[in-house]
Structure 1
Amino acid sequence: MALRWLTEDQQLIWRNYLELGTRLQVAMNRQLQARCGLSLADYEVLVALSERGPVRVLGLAAALGWEQSRVSHQLRRMRDRDLLERRDSTEDRRGATVEITVAGREALASAAPDHVALVRSVLFDEMTPAQLRGFDEVIVAALERLGD
């Protein structure tokens, strides 16, 4: 198979996409740290737990797309700050479940409005309905090509 380079336009779009992802993550992390004392990783875990309820650690890792070691370290740091609770499974001695605590729910409730406002202002406020649909179509198609 012959190597196909990106066209000039594709290369520009690709670089812009990478820069957007990096700069948006930096902005979200800074905002969360400054306003709530949470990291973006803390926020992602709290959102996942608030949406799923108690979940096995491996299930959380899969939902976040993280390696198990990253999840384990993140959960330990968050448990030390009382944002979540970890319980050994009664069914499987090797497994454990995690659940958001009251303090975790309060931290998430405090962080969410500003987080949503940032995402909305950066990505969505200036989009037309047609741009929004096109943006979603591109993302969904790429995710489908990546598979599980």
Structure 2
Amino acid sequence: MMYVRPSFATQTFRDRDGRVIDYGNRWHGSPPDVVKGVRLRPVDASCAALTFIFHDHPGVHVHAGLLHDFAYPVCGCDACDSTWEHEANELERLVRAVVNGHYREAISFREGDPWLAFAFESPDGRSSGEFRAQGMSREDAQTALDALQSISGPWSAWPPASTVM
């Protein structure tokens, strides 16, 4: 017996302005949902910078240091069912770890491919990850490795802000 897909009624979905969403034809490539980006970079080059990318759909991506992007929420679908409090706590954990000098990055080569790793600690625990770098050239990976080797350990804590009167 051959498989035959059951028939389903076609549904129409509309955007917030009431226009029909033509899924598959809304835009070419990635969705144009970046609203604003803000980069915070201490004067001391041994401190990891933070870049916050705010999106049209509720969420923010944080680029920490040289190599890593963290998404809050990780997934925006309803099935993941993450609360805003949980996501805010995770975002704050990362930012505190970077600012307090408890964030480290590493890059290595396996079978010719660059692999990226991160780790950070906070009073609430430790987070870490490792994955193959997608789309990173070997030259860019070597440049990042050279920069990280000059730090030799975790990124430094941010210096206290000076007050201007």
User: Do the two structures share a fold, i.e. TM-score over 0.5?
Assistant: no
Structure richer in helix, relative to its length? 1
TM-score by length of 1: 0.30
TM-score by length of 2: 0.28
Structure richer in strand, relative to its length? 2
Higher relative contact order (Cα pairs below 8 Å, separated by 6+ residues): 1
